Amino acid sequence: MFNRILIANRGEIACRIARTASRLGVDTVAVCSDPDRGAPFTEACDITIEIGGATPSESYLDMDRILNAAKQSGAEAIHPGYGFLSENAEFAERCTAAGLVFIGPGPKAIRIMGLKDSARNAAINSGVPVLPGYDGEDQSLNTLSNRAEKTGYPVLIKATAGGGGKGMRVVTAPQDFSSSLESVRRESISAFGNDRVLIEKYFPSSRHIEIQVFADSHGNAVHLFERDCSMQRRYQKVIEESPAANLTDKLRRKMTMAAVDCAKSIDYVGAGTIEFLVDSSEFYFLEMNTRLQVEHPVTEKITGQDLVEWQLRVASGEPLPCKQEDIRQNGHAIEVRVYAENPDRGFLPATGTILDISSPDCNFGDLETATRIDAGVVTGSQISAYYDPMISKAIIWSEDREKARERMLTLLRHYRILGVPTNISFLQAILEQPEFIESDYDTQYLTQNLEQVLSDIPTNDKIPHYACAWLFFQDLNAQRDRQSRQDDRYSPWLTQNPLRTESTRKYSFEYALNAKRQILHFKNNLGRLEFDDGIKLNAEIRDHHEMSVTMRNYRAIVNVVHTENTVFLHIDGQHHRVDLADIDHANRDRLGASGTIFSPMPGRVVEVQVKPGQSVNRGDRLLCIEAMKMEHDILAPSSGTLKSIHCKSGDSVTENTLLAIIESP
């Protein structure tokens, strides 16, 4: 076993690797960029080396900086985690040349499986069925479009170096092929530095099942069963579970055997995942991930094995810890990915400071067995535009699927993250859909049912607005020393601009919801607020960030934090955001103007498709912004004439940067 390893990654996976290494008595070295100074993963490691830079290319993708840090720290091996350099054959070679062990497969296997075209050929050679399509050398538009026609629409354009849902587009008609190809190539160049693509037949109603495989340098290879990753949005996994429901034992045996055979055929060593598309009783090879997967905790829960420990042991030359007959599936596990994103704004990634985060305290008996949170953030952590917006992964185990689903819902209701928008309510809504309960879903479920799922998320609950009015009413009347509370910049009692007195007993609370000003009118009756709509509310402050609210026969605990002009609340498992109306009402009106287009996120403008004076229709694609290595189309909110464009390709923009103005007829 190694004495010291360097973790060439960040966030929750770096924390995860450090946890197992520490248990095994292995010292860990963290490397961190400038934005990650003091991040939790640096505290989880024994040594931290700052490698500078902000963007991934300046830090976690800079091989020279990583290798120099390993040499400086005296590390014997490098664990790449997932993403960044984890599937980079050149980096694996440079580790070996530097006298370091790369904790992963050899460069030959990475190269074969790292490109989807050569991976298809490897699958074919090992006898695994593949999807119809084209993966040839000729990458001209004419050849690719002709091959798409021959394959038959709909087709999927995939970047050969793609992964993580990036560099993929479904094309349903020939007229959309050229623009989709351009978008895939741009995204692939940005994320992977490679613009080669392949064409595959697209099956709309199919499931995404992956098999966890593991092999050592002694000729042994095993599988650790399957994971169902069919709940996806834009080809990115949202919820994973194991075992896969409705998968027959016969099909499971065929797929697991095919996965192991495929790994053996390329002399694979280490952890890997063979991904399959399952259509009825047939399955087809999709790709192989030559690394640890984000969803590996699901497999750990149902097998009782620590896959990071397996990686360390295999990389140090030991044989696999278990034989195939010793590996069993036990119970059911579900994992959800918690992101800083706005489900109500097209899932745009969000940035900001986490003002309050709690670990769910759910009584599931043996918590070590039942519940697991893999996180790389704490209160005060920054979610930046430089990296993936995933906050954490929540994992639940139980004896059967329904109990696991119910436990996950309970966990999410108690999982409090305030300061940035998250997808927690969206995840709850998915788990409560009848199709999920019955395991009757495929990879297109969210595409086809997204409106229904989003409609099941409470959005018009007025309780947080009433609660905010009560908070600011207390602020107006509190007999406290204001100066003594200046140290708590998140206290919701520091600002009273939204509240104004209309008479001796009547008040108005002004706030913004979806960029539109709203006003609640109320009066005070012995500390209980009576609103014009008949609602009567009483509350009690429990501490700076918690209050109890009583309204009619309803009582709830409200967690609250405040920063600048925004109040974040957590009530009954739902997260709410109340924006306090600015004094500059004209600016708020401008933000809500239907023809004025602002950037919904920080990022970089990659393409502007329109010119001033051009007529546009509602829904037309105006420009494209890249954020966190994903492209986001900006569409016309209304029809009219493009009055002005305020950005160009290559510009960096922040949230609410003015992009364009459309003049309606």
Distance CA 629, CA 159 (A): 14
Distance CA 313, CA 307 (A): 10
User: DSSP character for 130?
Assistant: B
Enumerate residues 6+ apart whose C-beta is below 8 A from 543: none
Enumerate residues 6+ apart whose C-beta is below 8 A from 329: 225, 242, 243, 302, 303
Return the structure tokens found at 597.
């287009």
Q: Would you call 105 exposed, middle or buried from its count of C-beta atoms within 10 A (0-12, 13-18, 19+)?
A: buried
Distance CA 290, CA 271 (A): 7
Of 65, 291, 313, 416, the active-site residue reads: 291
The alpha carbon dihedral of 119, 123, 126, 132 has a sign of: negative
DSSP string across 220-279: -EEEEEEEEEEEEETTEEEEEEESPTT--HHHHHHHHHHHHHHHHHTT--EEEEEEEEEE
Residue 291 annotated as catalytic: yes
- Where would I find the beta strands (DSSP E) of 117-233? 133-134, 155-163, 166-171, 197-201, 207-215, 221-233
Q: Rg (Cα) of the chain, in Å, rounded?
A: 26
Neighbours of 126 (CB within 10 A): 17
Answer for the pair 617, 636: CB distance below 8 angstroms, yes or no.
yes
Q: At what angle do helices 424-431 and 445-455 cross, to 10 degrees?
A: 110
Answer for the pair 263, 213: CB distance below 8 angstroms, yes or no.
yes
Nearest residue to 139 via CA among 182, 87, 203: 182
Return the structure tokens found at 5.
């390893």
- The label of the residue with tokens 């004419």 reads 142
DSSP run (H or E) holding 604: strand 603-608
DSSP string across 428-453: HHHHTSHHHHTT---TTHHHHHHHHH
Catalogue the active-site residues: 291
